[in-house]
Structure 1
């Protein structure tokens, strides 16, 4: 969650208070309903179920909360893990997810003070957490107690260790790659359409130490290719990479402090305008130093393909354009990396990028009204460009418009035949049709 959800959550608290008698207290014993949380043995973990309840006329769509039952991974594969922050305290988060009027949930919630984990939605089911239905149906969501603009206060060593243990456990169970195209923040989730870009979230924010976290997952950033490699991993040291951002939603300048985020410019100079995500700034205005403006920054442990070099600077391909970051000789801001990149096939001037990987309309039953296939985002991969990625993305749509799975096709997963691959198009991931691109190993 981020401040885009603050207003909604504040209203939710009022509703939660009205139903407090019906809610399971956060301190209640785990397993009261016979369910055991899916956690590694070494983790302090309990089970407190999120609400799953009809809230209005059953004939109306979406009059229920707070998740959808499914049969994952037998129906839809689980290929992504999404990390959030709560923007409220731990106990309040549990109350919000227990109120069916709130229409929001996550599979797990991690407490800041001691790393305690509460599971609230079974992993087989679909939590309403990512703001992208495709990602919801193919991911597990983990909420971490804290506030994105105050991350350094809330993201404790206990939280990093607990979340890392949980992610390693889930990645092993569901065969999820431990890389930044599959272990993503809420800030890495793409919109489902170009018009939805401005509504996407930015948590866990610039003060989540991705270098530290990925090292706990067993993947510390280290050179795996010679200097001058085409592919690089951002490896700026969190404590030394001090940045001053602004909480533009509150109109407050945040203190200069350690960060995972490295600013991106339109040229090899700090006097150049900050890079602008064309989805966030369709008017052509420059990027900003707002904490929520992820187009103007790249995060530690994210990868990028080098587009150009100048003394003390490196240009990368970013949202289909060149973006520059400072890379002084004696500061290890980037690390040469071996890996896979995605390039347009020969003869393709540019390749569209999507926020979903849905089947074609022809792949649904004739008596079923197929959902929209998904329109391209504003970003494209142009001839001569390349982006990290190449992992196959599941192609499918989980149809679940009501709580009643006995209705025709309700709670049905429709798998598609067209193959998509995941790319790190900018700060957010995206999906491209495999037939449009070549996946190339570089080192």
Structure 2
């Protein structure tokens, strides 16, 4: 969003999730368009097919709860809905998964209605969020709790269907793991031709907050930083404040003579969470008189 939200959090910390419905079956782009002229916004939109889009950064205040203090201390999640106010199974699973990821990321604890997850109607005279806090109330929060348990306790993740038997994960990495990447994408389906080098990102690491099994780029990092696949991931982030992008590493090698040469440089790059091949590619550009 470029309007109808507020920068920052007015000094407040996120301590809850507020759940909404669209009162219609909107897409991510549809929400964006509506909020260009309507003085409202939310952090996320969950489409009927399960696709999630972020419209306001977590660090900023969305205008969604009809209460300024609540806006400043919450993450707002919108859901596309059917005519009867219910949401699809795909939307329920993705929305509940997102709620669990937000609760884990902000340290809110296991999702519970009226503890750390609230319906919009709790704060305003509205029918929102429809049957999410009606006929689907129990199913929604139970799914969120199952996803949360799988993130923090190693329990099996819900299958996303009605079967009580969870599916076996087919991905190499798991939700909650903090990984380093060399390239990334803007969506789970983006082709290789749209790969973004880590050097062009704000940082080259993030925590896996969602997994879309079977997708080309199945891992969502930090609830919206980017999407990556197994081939993009170079290992686990070591937690060092010295972690850097390949571009920064290359500049330090070329301009300051840091990080050694040969095998020493490669080992140093890996220690700092930098892809050594990407770093060397950038160093070669600098050596040829180019800019990075």
| TM class by smaller structure | 0.3 to 0.5
Structure having the larger proportion of residues in helix: 2
Structure having the larger proportion of residues in strand: 1
Give the TM-score normalised by structure 2: 0.45
